[in-house]
Structure 1
Amino acid sequence: MRILAVSGSLRAASSNSRAIQALALLAPAGVEVEIWRGLGELPFFNPDLDIDPAPARVAAWRAAVEACDALVISSPEYAHGVAGVMKNGLDWLVSHPGLHETPVAVINATPPGDYAQAHMRDNLSVMFTTLVEAAFVTVNLRGRSETPAQIAADPALSAPLRQALNALAQMG
């Protein structure tokens, strides 16, 4: 199974990025977690640019999504919503069928994040993804500085990530 993981934060020391890096370290045999790092390089969504061929970075994003068996998103909440860079990435996928029926997990790395989670559910539902409820998890990294390896080694921090991986693996 191939899982594509993306962080909705562009911060160098992002909790969301560390969560998906830890997720990759925890992947069991037969599960590959690829981390997509190009979200900040996507142009702002503009329907006038949503043409064939798509802009190069958009084409790369869409190809990565199309090639995966499942998608994991970890994005911060800004102003009671999904981070703009993450929403922009999702907007580029709306008209592309590559995400349809793809199992999706959402990791909340800085609780509470309830508003962003709700917006993410709405956006992903409209995009006809398969929301894997058991893979919507919280790993509380707010104010913490553990490395991805330390997160993966900590039973309390890694348990929700393992839960998300197991739930996605059952889908595949």
Structure 2
Amino acid sequence: MLILAISGSLRAASANTSLLRTIAGIAPAGVTVTLYDGLDDLPHFSPERDIANPPVAVSALRTQLRAADAVLICTPEYAHGIPGVLKNMLDWTVSSGEFVDKPTGVITAATEGAFAHTSLLETLRMVSAHRVEGASLLIPLVRTKVMPNGEITDLPTAQAVQAVLNALIYAVTCQSPA
């Protein structure tokens, strides 16, 4: 099973990226969590660019999304919304449909985060992602719960993160043909 993990932050010391690396490390045998690293390479979305032969970075994103059994997005909140680079990435999938029925989990890890969390869930609804029940988590005051190296120091947060991963795995397992 392959879960594509997407951080909504470009910061080298991002708590969101560190958290996704931690999740990759706790994934059980048979589950690979791969961190998408092309967010900064995507050109600004424009319908005129979304043509039969899209930019290379867009093709690579779409290929990785199609290959993934599930997607886990972990994002901060900027100005009460999701970061522009994350929204840009999602815009590139609207016409091509990679999120349609794709089991998707969302973690918003920020100082507050509620606005970004709601916004991201709404965007995923619009692209017809399968928002997995139990795979949505808001981690406010993230810097008090997750260390810069990704270590989760708050037990309820650690349990909730594990539950998000488990819900994604369960959703993929249940939808796979026997």
Q: CA deviation at 1:154?
A: 6.7
2:168 partner letter: L
Deviation at residue 110 of structure 1 after TM alignment: 1.6
Structure 2 length-normalised TM = 0.89
- Relative contact order higher in (CA < 8 Å, ≥ 6 apart): 1
Long gaps (5+) in structure 2: 173-178
Alignment gaps of 5+ in structure 1: none
Amino acid at match of 1:137: L
1:76 aligns with 2:62: no
Which residue in the other structure is 1:17 paired with?
Answer: 17
1:142 equivalent in structure 2:
143
Whether the 8 Å contact between 2:74 and 2:108 is mirrored in structure 1 is yes
Correspondence list, 1:80-159, <5 A:
80-139=80-139, 140-142=141-143, 145-148=147-150, 150-151=151-152, 155-159=155-159
Aligned residues: 170
Q: Secondary structure at the match of 2:51?
A: coil
Name the amino acid aligned to 2:43: P
Task: State the Cα RMSD in Å.
Answer: 1.6
What is the rounded CA distance, in whole Å, between the counterparts of 2:82 and 2:154 in structure 1?
Answer: 28
Cα displacement (A) at 1:158: 2.5
Measure the CA separation in 2 of the matches of 1:34 and 1:76: 19
Identity %: 40
User: How far did 1:142 drift?
Assistant: 2.2
Is the contact between residue 69 and residue 103 of structure 1 (CA under 8 Å) also seen in structure 2? Answer: yes
Aligned equivalents of 2:25, 2:95: Cα separation in 1: 32
Whole-Å separation in 1 of the counterparts to 2:12 and 2:63:
25
In 1, distance between residues paired with 2:64 and 2:154? 30
